[in-house]
Amino acid sequence: MDHGTRRAAKMLSDARTVLCLTGAGVSAESGVPTFRDAQTGLYANRDPMDLASPGGFRRDRALVWGWYMERLARLGEVEPNPGHHALAELETSVPRFTLVTQNVDDLHERAGSIDVIHLHGSIARFRCFDCGHPYELRPEERTAPEPPYCPDCGDFIRPDVVWFGEELPGEHLARARQLAMEAQVLLVAGTSGTVFPAAEIPYWAKTNGATVIDVNLEVTPISRIADIFLRGPSGEVLPDLLAAMELFAPHESDYDDEH
């Protein structure tokens, strides 16, 4: 086991409050392409930042709707990976553990994570663009070329995600900020730290004196401020981290000696 993993495991074992921030890199190993991965086919030369925006939807709702329906269909074919499962298990061994994610998939929940904050919404939820009326998509509407209409006001139905230029859900961001200010350890995994305000979380944690552990394939602005940078795929590094924590877990024998 490398020194960084051992140090990170010790910090996590000793911590009572841990906040975990994940990005698209955690879902990448389940086969969900990250936001920046080359868009495929029809979307190959489209800027995801434009597709994931109100203007993009208003300009070409059929194109944006098709992109989301394709991503939603792909989500139905993938499973949580060992990185998701490791985080779900970590939640059971840390007294206060919350997972805040930028991801719009449900893989953390499917792996068993309970206290999950979705900063950017959910690709499997829908609402009216104008009046916000929640909408249950019918199966046949998933393959329709255009989004359905809102039964209340007649505007178009859209994915209940936060698009670029749109505000994040205030209560989720406020809770994430509060937890970042209280956390003893912030564990970051699979994010480039380039999308704001989610990318502020590591800086809030640092301000509060938290130990920041970053798990990524590449060096990012977060790695640079992290106390421990564990380079590697989250699907391997996170389970290794969990296994390493066993070294510091109180064992029966520890108690026997005392009694």
Q: Which one among 8, 21, 86, 128 touches Zn ion, defined by CB under 5 A?
A: 128
Of ligand BV8, Zn ion, none, which one sits near residue 152, judging by CB under 5 to 8 A according to partner kind? Zn ion
Size of the site for Zn ion (CB under 5 A): 8
List CB contacts of 170: < 8 A, sequence separation 6 or more.
none
Q: Which of residues 91-150 bind ligand BV8 (CB under 6 A)?
A: 102-104, 120
Q: Which of 152, 165, 178, 207 binds Zn ion (CB under 5 A)?
A: 152
Tokens standing for 43? Answer: 């979307």
Which residue in the set 153, 217, 243, 249 belongs to the binding site for Zn ion (CB under 5 A)?
A: 153
- Answer whether 230's CB lies under 8 Å from 5's CB: yes
In the structure encoding, which two tokens stand for residue 200, read together? 């502020």
Considering beta carbons, is residue 84 or 120 the nearer one to ligand BV8?
A: 120
Q: Which of 5, 30, 98, 192 binds ligand BV8 (CB under 6 A)?
A: 192
Select 13 or 122, whichever has its Cβ closest to ligand BV8. 122
Is 187 among the residues that bind ligand BV8 (CB under 6 A)?
no
Kind of pairing, strands 121-128 and 134-135?
antiparallel
Q: Which residues neighbour 182 within 8 Å (Cβ) at sequence distance 6 or greater?
A: 17, 208
3 tagged catalytic: no
Beginning with the edge strand found earlier in the chain, give each strand of the sheet holding 157-161 in spatial order. Answer: 134-135, 121-128, 157-161
Dist. CA 43–CA 208, nearest whole Å = 41
Tokens representing 205 are 């944690």
> How far is Cα 259 from Cα 26, in angstroms, rounded to an integer?
43
Closest to ligand BV8 by CB, 91 vs 105, is 105
Residue ranges in contact with ligand BV8 by CB under 6 A? 23-25, 28-29, 34-36, 52, 102-104, 120, 161-167, 190-192, 194-197, 215-218, 220, 233-235
Residues near Zn ion (CB under 5 A): 128, 130-131, 133, 150, 152-153, 155
